[in-house]
Structure 1
Amino acid sequence: MRDSQDALLNAVSAAVLAVTRHLSPREVLQVIVRSARELLDARYAALGVPDDDGSFAEFVADGITPEQWAAIGPTPRQHGLLGAMLREGTPVRLGDVRRDPRFDGWPKAHPVLKDFLGVPIHDGDQVLGIIFLANKACGPFTHDDQDVLTLFAAHAAIALTNARLYERGRELTVIEERQRMARELHDAVTQKLFSLRLTAQAARALLATDPERAARELDTVQRMAGEALAELREVIVELRPAELDSHGLVETLRKNVGLLDRLHSATITFEGHFDGDLPAEHEVAVLRVAQEAQHNALRHSGCSSLWVRLRRDRADLVLEVVDDGSGFDGEPTRGLGLESMRDRAAGVGGRLDVISRPGAGTTVRMVVPT
């Protein structure tokens, strides 16, 4: 008995540690779901986060494939058992969820669920989310299982609250940093451009009466323009997209792909997972190359499908943007931003390859050391 209790406590401790290692709220939600499912040996797990209208603002799942998840359809709203739990905020344990009077079916692609356990994640009186488990390997779920999941949910609440506070702190930091950048643009670049304009006006006025002095003034214009350009580049390099600070690289790519998929007739999908840490400049480079490659494919290739993939390959991070468009033979035409993408890859110690042939689509692959 003592050994089984120690094993259980060790399992809960390991699950809690797995959650608290992450600071992004989205990552915390995903790790909570995966840890809860593994902790109680369930086949399926999900976590719903409420919005201000009594529905689910977010809904993450574990135990199903991305294809199954896409086929299931929209996030559950205010109906059925899950909606009832959202309103009531109390645990629910069922031997067969289909026999509960609140059950009202599920989409055609939804897996068949039987035994069910749902536990709210509380922060005081506020419900931060609800963990749902189904189809325990040696089910049904027991009262002890409910106690274990309740204990885990209490620790998960702390991790989720900390992640949200951390994200809010990062958002404030981003605002402060952008205000600093605006001041630098005004104090350095703007002032230099103003001086450059005055010098150019003086050179113009001297052209007729003193060409030699006008030439010297034009040399000064050239030098000042170069200095202004260099300072502007330094400021631009320091500007980090705000969404990277808020959501991280993987989720930013996912959101970007989702937006483009809604705006374009082509089907655009994202496949990616990366659990390591990248320097800020590496994340910016990967994001910008992904955006440029997607833009090129959608504008020039005539593709019907576009895939954005992010994966780890040993010590490298690999980004691939693949389309099924017209492709090309040899080097791509000018104006596709290829040199810019290669410069971005080289700037972080990586490389960029473009693979294409007529009628067989194009793959843009960026490899970055981690």
Structure 2
Amino acid sequence: MTDIDDTDEVLGAVSTAVLAVTRHLSVAEVLEVIVRSARRLLGARYAALGIPDDEGGFAEFIADGVSDRQRERIGPLPRQHGMLAALLRGGETIRVPDIQADPRFGWWPKAHPVMSGFLGVPIVDGDDVVGIVFLANKISGSEFDERDERILTLFAAHAAIALANARLYERSLELSVVEERNRLARELHDVVAQQLFSLRLTARSAAALLETRPAEAARLLERVEELSGTAIDELRSVIVELRPAELDSSGLVDTVRKFVELAGRTHGVTTEFSAEGELLLSRAGEVEVLRMVQEAVHNALRHARADLVTVALRGGESIVMTVGDNGEGFDPQSGTPRGLGLLSMTERTERLGGRIDIDARPGEGTTVTVTIPCEQPTARQASIEGES
């Protein structure tokens, strides 16, 4: 890295990056931040981080410095061979001025970028090599030196901790989801199922008495109406718990603002947020818009390699959500880019009766615009009454 000469300052930057990755929600996001930070901190043209699988390949392989189009031309994920295998099996750092001149070098696909200087470090957890991180081609043209090696080794040590923390977090999240599903299932069984069972018995009794004792049947039918209303209320109370609590405490605008700010800090990119006008949305509509913002922002951060992401919400005759980035973009004629999640956003937009537009150009970023109708007074009032 050419513009940071003081070791303490470099190590501080490494620690800041590692602290940021521990706040991510998935192992994949952790890997992306690690490899991107490593490349920037040490001034390399290419960087990659791989987590091996048990079948001679890689369960995760995150590369930085290679465009999506070039990655598609390269082909499938690499196998555990050549220098990658040496890192995984030897468990020692490898630093060479020319990777192709090293006898451990194997081969790479035709579309693979040409690499010369190479610095690779195993990611070790106890006695196990759980991954590798490597850099290639110093941008300055110089070779990787001992200082680079020390810093990347420190980064790899922190990466092992970050990976362990992320996996523990994902596991705890999975357990929480299972526990919540079980709780909701018990709630539905203990409350709603009992109400429906009583409703069914009362309806059968009313049907049996309809011809011989119509007055008694009428009374039971009133009871059926009462029980059905209670069951609906109980079911609604369970469903409401699936709504993000922050939407009720802070509202849609503040919830989106906090999310955008946190995403920027976590990924180390600049984010901008703006909102204007009244956003007339039902409770369900607010959840859908929030999820679409999260999806679009995550796509920009994970796949577009953007350093600026903007989010805007605008109310009025219709509600417009816009998420833009200055990343790599893509050619719409070549098909949907990997990881865009367009289907999910399209389905959410259709549920709200709106439309989604994608404006993308190679090298010029991507803008996602979702336009949905705001609630008409009658529909809005019906929504409010249904939630009360």
Whether these two folds match at TM > 0.5 is yes
Question: In structure 1, what is the equivalent of residue 108 of structure 2?
Answer: 106
Question: In structure 2, what is the equivalent of residue 76 of structure 1?
Answer: 78
**Greater Cα offset, 11-20 or 169-178:** 11-20
1:65 shift after superposition:
1.9
- Residue identity in the other structure for 2:226: R
Question: In structure 2, what is the equivalent of residue 148 of structure 1?
Answer: 151
Question: In structure 2, what is the equivalent of residue 13 of structure 1?
Answer: 15
Structure 2 CA distance for partners of 1:60 and 1:339, relative to 1, 3 Å: closer
Secondary structure of residue in 2 paired with 1:83: helix
Question: In structure 2, what is the equivalent of residue 263 of structure 1?
Answer: none
Written as runs of structure 1 = structure 2, the 5 A alignment for 1:175-194 is 175-194=178-197
1:167 shift after superposition:
1.6
Written as runs of structure 1 = structure 2, the 5 A alignment for 1:252-331 is 275=263, 285=288, 313-316=310-313, 318=322
1:90 shift after superposition:
1.6
**Greater Cα offset, 102-111 or 114-123:** 102-111
Structure 2 CA distance for partners of 1:220 and 1:319, relative to 1, 3 Å: farther
1:283 shift after superposition:
9.9
Secondary structure of residue in 2 paired with 1:8: helix
| Pick aligned residue for 2:139 from 131, 137, 140 | 137
Gaps of 5+ in 1: 242-273, 291-306, 325-335, 343-351, 357-362
Question: In structure 1, what is the equivalent of residue 270 of structure 2?
Answer: none
Secondary structure of residue in 1 paired with 2:111: coil
1:120 shift after superposition:
0.9
1:203 shift after superposition:
0.6
Structure 2 CA distance for partners of 1:173 and 1:79, relative to 1, 3 Å: same
1:318 shift after superposition:
4.7
Is residue 2:217 matched to residue 1:220?
Answer: no
- The count of residues paired between Structure 1 and Structure 2 equals 287
The question of whether the paired residues in 1 share the 8 Å contact of 2:355 and 2:370 is answered with yes
1:110 shift after superposition:
1.8
Question: In structure 2, what is the equivalent of residue 116 of structure 1?
Answer: 118
Q: For each residue in 1:262-284, what CA deviation from the matched residue of structure 2 results, as whole angstroms up to 9, or x when unmatched? A: xxxxxxxxxxxx9269xxx8996
1:93 shift after superposition:
1.1
- Residue identity in the other structure for 2:117: D
Determine the C-alpha separation between the residues in 2 that align with 1:17 and 1:285: 31
Q: For each residue in 1:296-339, what CA deviation from the matched residue of structure 2 results, as whole angstroms up to 9, or x when unmatched? A: xxxxxxxxxxx99956533556579xx99xxxxxxxxxxx9889
Question: In structure 1, what is the equivalent of residue 29 of structure 2?
Answer: 27
**Greater Cα offset, 113-122 or 66-75:** 66-75
Gaps of 5+ in 2: 245-261, 267-283, 301-308, 314-320, 325-331, 334-345, 358-367, 373-388
Secondary structure of residue in 2 paired with 1:275: helix
Determine the C-alpha separation between the residues in 2 that align with 1:27 and 1:283: 26
Determine the C-alpha separation between the residues in 2 that align with 1:366 and 1:173: 34
The question of whether the paired residues in 1 share the 8 Å contact of 2:44 and 2:135 is answered with yes
1:43 shift after superposition:
0.7
Structure 2 CA distance for partners of 1:26 and 1:318, relative to 1, 3 Å: farther
Question: In structure 1, what is the equivalent of residue 303 of structure 2?
Answer: none
Structure 2 CA distance for partners of 1:226 and 1:15, relative to 1, 3 Å: same
Written as runs of structure 1 = structure 2, the 5 A alignment for 1:87-106 is 87-106=89-108
1:287 shift after superposition:
9.1
1:81 shift after superposition:
1.9
The question of whether the paired residues in 1 share the 8 Å contact of 2:288 and 2:348 is answered with no
Question: In structure 2, what is the equivalent of residue 209 of structure 1?
Answer: 212
Question: In structure 2, what is the equivalent of residue 235 of structure 1?
Answer: 238
- Residue identity in the other structure for 1:154: A
Determine the C-alpha separation between the residues in 2 that align with 1:53 and 1:236: 42
Structure 2 CA distance for partners of 1:313 and 1:45, relative to 1, 3 Å: same
Cα RMSD after superposing both structures: 3.6
Determine the C-alpha separation between the residues in 1 that align with 2:349 and 2:149: 57
Determine the C-alpha separation between the residues in 2 that align with 1:115 and 1:55: 24
Question: In structure 2, what is the equivalent of residue 44 of structure 1?
Answer: 46
1:46 shift after superposition:
0.6
Question: In structure 2, what is the equivalent of residue 341 of structure 1?
Answer: 351
